[in-house]
Amino acid sequence: MFSIDIRGKTPIYEQLLNRITELISSGAMSENERMPTVREVAKDLGVNPNTVQKAYQMLEQRGLIYSIPAKGSYVAKSDTVINTVKEQALARFRESALNAINSGLEPNVLKTEIEKLEGGTKND
Amino acid sequence: MFSIDIRGKTPIYEQLLNRITELISSGAMSENERMPTVREVAKDLGVNPNTVQKAYQMLEQRGLIYSIPAKGSYVAKSDTVINTVKEQALARFRESALNAINSGLEPNVLKTEIEKLEGGTKND
Amino acid sequence: MFSIDIRGKTPIYEQLLNRITELISSGAMSENERMPTVREVAKDLGVNPNTVQKAYQMLEQRGLIYSIPAKGSYVAKSDTVINTVKEQALARFRESALNAINSGLEPNVLKTEIEKLEGGTKND
Amino acid sequence: MFSIDIRGKTPIYEQLLNRITELISSGAMSENERMPTVREVAKDLGVNPNTVQKAYQMLEQRGLIYSIPAKGSYVAKSDTVINTVKEQALARFRESALNAINSGLEPNVLKTEIEKLEGGTKND
DNA sequence: GTGGTCTAGACCACA
DNA sequence: GTGGTCTAGACCACA
C-alpha cells in the first residue's frame, strides 16, 4: 500500500508522512479521494495503529488530508499547502546540492544525475 | 570556528561531523593541517566537550583525521576516503532530487537551482 | 435549510443542535411552527437520518421542540428553557472572552468587536 | 503546575495546549525560559508522559516552544506566531459572541460581562 | 467500523 | 536525565 522500510533509522511515522505527502503533492492521489483507514494501513504494514494515526494527524494538521471521525480520511490538497510542501522539497534539494558542491563535486555531475532521474521516476 | 545550530533537531555531534567533513573533502582544510583541540571547539561553541570528542572520534574512524596522542589532531585526507565521502554526498543529493521530482517539481527547475549555486559556493 | 459544515470536527448532530437552538431562542422560528421532518433534513444535508434524529431527540429532551407521533415536530419555546439556553450561550461567551483576555487581547478590542456585530447580525 | 481538569470532555492534551498557549502568549512565561520536563508535568498531574509529550510536540510544531533533545524544552515565543494565536482567540471570541447575540442576548449585556472580567483575570 | 484519546511500559540516541 | 518513538491494548463518541 504505502511502501516503507521497517528497519532504517527514519521513524516509521515520518516515512509514512513523506511518502503520502509525495503521492498527494505529485497528483498521484487526487482531491477528495478516500484514504485507506488507519487500521488497514497498520495491518498492511504490520505496524501499530497509533503510529499510522500519528502520520495521518500530522497530514491533517498540515492541510494535506481531512478526516471525518467515524467516516474516514480524505485527500484535501489545498493548493497553497502543496506549494509550501514543494518549497520545502526544494529547500532540502538546495541544501543537499550545496553540500555536494562544497564536498568537491562538480555542478555538471549533479546536472547529469538529474537527467538520469528524468526518465525513471517512481509513482507506484 | 565551526558554525552550528544549537537549536534544530539534527544532533550537535552530527552537525560538527558534517561541517568538518565538508571542509576537508572540499579542500578548505589541507592535508596535515592541525585541527583545533576538542576543548577549544567545545568552549567556542558553548557545547559539552564529550560532544565534540564524539565528532572527532568518528572523523578519525572514517580516516578523515588522525590524532597524535599528546600533540593533537590533524587532517588526513586520504583520497580513497574522500571519494567515499563524495559518494555519500552524491547519494544524499540523488535522494533529495528524486523526492523533489516526485513532489511535482520540474527537473529543469532543479538544474536552474544548481546553476544559481555555481557562482556563490565557497563556505561562510 | 440548516447550514452545517460536513468537514470540521464538531459532530454533525451537535452542529444541528446548536444551529436549531439558535434559531428557536432568537425567535427566528416561532412557537408551534412546524419543523422539517427528519428525512427532509437528512436528504437535504446528505446526512444519515439517524444523525438528524439524534439532534431532534435532544432538542425535544431539552424542551425546545415537541413531537406529535405521525404528525411531526413543532417548536415549543418554553420561556424557562430559552432562558437556560441563553445562560449557556452566555457561559460560553464568558469563557472565550476570558481566554481572549488571558491571551493578551485588550478588553476594549473585544468590546469593539461586539459593536461591529451589532449591525450585521441576523443569520444567513 | 499547569492546572487541568481530569474529568470534563476536553482532552487532557488539549487542555494543556490551551493553558500553556495562554501563559506564553500573555507574557506570563518569558522567552527562552525553560519549561518543566515532560516527565515532571506528567508526574505532577498524574497523567501519562505520552499525553504531555503530545501537547509539547504540538506546541513546538506551532512554534511556541522549541525542544532540544536530551536538554529540555524552552519558550520560543515568535512574535508572528503569537499574533496568529491571538487571531484564533479573537476568532473564537467572535463566534461565541455572534452565537450569544443570535440566541437573543443583548450586546450591552455582553459588554458588561467583559467589564466584569477586566479586573479579575487569572495568570497564576 | 471509524477516527481519537489514553495508559503502562519499553527502548533509543544524545548530553 | 531528556526528548522521541513505538507497541499492545483499551475505551469513547459518532455514523
At C81-100, the pLDDT tens digits run: 899 999 999 999 999 999 99
Give the E-state strand segments of chain C in sequence order: 65-68, 72-75
Task: Quote the cell numbers at residue B51.
Answer: 560532544
Residues 48-87 of B with CB under 8 A from A: 82, 85-86
Strand E bases, protein C-beta under 7 A: 1-10, 13-15
Q: What is the pLDDT of residue B121?
A: 53
- Is the CB of residue D86 inside 7 Å of nucleic acid strand F? no
Q: Which residues, at least 6 apart from A99, have a Cβ–Cβ distance to it below 8 Å?
A: B18, B22, B89, B92, B93
Q: Can you give the distance from the CA of residue D39 to the C1' of nucleotide E12 in angstroms?
A: 17
CB of D21 within 8 A of CB of D35? no
Does the CB of A100 have a partner CB in chain B at under 8 Å?
yes
Name residues 8-37 of chain A with a Cβ under 7 Å from nucleic strand E: 35, 37
The pLDDT assigned to A124 comes to 43
| pLDDT at residue C121, rounded to an integer | 52
DSSP state of D78: -
Write down which chains contact chain D via at least 3 CB pairs under 8 A.
Answer: B, C
DSSP designation for A10: S
Grid coordinates representing A108 are 555538471
Chain C residue with Cα closest to A68 = C7
Give the residues of chain B that fall short of pLDDT 50: 122-124
What is the grid cell recorded at D101? Answer: 447575540
pLDDT at B29: 92
Q: Is B114 on the interface with A (CB under 8 A)?
A: yes
**Between chains, do A66 and C7 touch, taking CB under 8 Å as contact?**
yes
Average pLDDT over residues A55-73: 94
Whole-number Å distance between alpha carbons of D76 and D32: 6
C-alpha separations of C84 from A36, B6, B79, C49, C78 in Å: 44, 55, 82, 28, 10
- Per-residue pLDDT, B120: 60
pLDDT tens figures, A3-50: 999 888 999 999 999 999 999 999 999 999 999 999 999 999 999 999
Chains B and C touch (3+ CB pairs under 8 A): no
Please indicate whether, in this complex, the C-beta atoms of C110 and D93 are within 8 angstroms of each other.
yes
Query: Does residue D124 carry a pLDDT above 50?
Result: no
B5 touches chain D (CB under 8 A): no
From chain A, the residues in CB contact with B104 under 8 A are 25-27, 82, 86
pLDDT band at A121 (very low <50, low <70, confident <90, very high): low
pLDDT at position A49: 97
Tens digits of per-residue pLDDT, D17-59?
999 999 999 999 999 999 999 999 999 999 999 999 999 999 9
How far is Cα B114 from Cα A93, in angstroms, rounded to an integer?
Answer: 10
Lowest mean pLDDT among A3-7, C100-104, D94-98: A3-7
Q: Which helix (H) or strand (E) holds A72?
A: strand A72-75
In this complex, the answer to whether residue C48 has its CB under 7 A from any atom of chain F, a nucleic strand, is yes
Cα B60 to chain centroid, rounded: 13
Integer Cα distance of D66 and D74 in angstroms? 5
User: How far away is chain B from the Cα of D124, in angstroms, using its nearest Cα?
Assistant: 29
Mean local confidence (pLDDT), C37-45: 94
Chain D touched by B11 (CB under 8 Å): yes
Distance from CA(C113) to C1'(F15), angstroms, rounded: 37
Q: Straight-line distance from CA D37 to C1' F6, in Å?
A: 20
Chains A and C touch each other (3 or more Cβ pairs < 8 A): yes
Mean pLDDT of C99-119: 93
pLDDT beyond 80 at C122: no
A74 and A67 in contact (C-beta within 8 Å)?
A: yes
C116 at interface of A, judged by CB pairs closer than 8 A: no
Chain F: nucleotides below 7 Å from protein CB are: 1-10, 13-15
* Interchain CB distance below 8 Å, B107 and A123: no
A2 touches strand F (CB under 7 A): no
Enumerate long-range contacts of D88-92, CB under 8 Å, 24 or more apart.
D89/C96, D89/C99, D89/C100, D89/C103, D89/C105, D89/D25, D90/C100, D90/C105, D90/C109, D90/C113, D92/C96, D92/C99, D92/C100
> Which residues does chain B have within 8 Å of residue D69's beta carbon, measured at their own beta carbons?
9, 11
Distance, Å, C55 CA → F10 C1': 29
Q: Provide the pairing of β-strand A65-68 with A72-75.
A: antiparallel
Whether the predicted pLDDT of D123 surpasses 70:
no
Residues from chain D contacting residue B14 (CB–CB below 8 Å): none
| CB pairs < 8 Å spanning C and D | 117
Q: Which of residues 38-57 of A touch strand F (CB under 7 A)?
A: 47-51, 54
First to last CA, chain B: 11
Is the C-beta atom of A72 closer than 7 angstroms to strand F? no
Subset of residues 60-99 in chain D with CB less than 7 angstroms from any atom in strand E: 69-71
Using C1' positions and the CA of C48, the closest nucleotide is F15
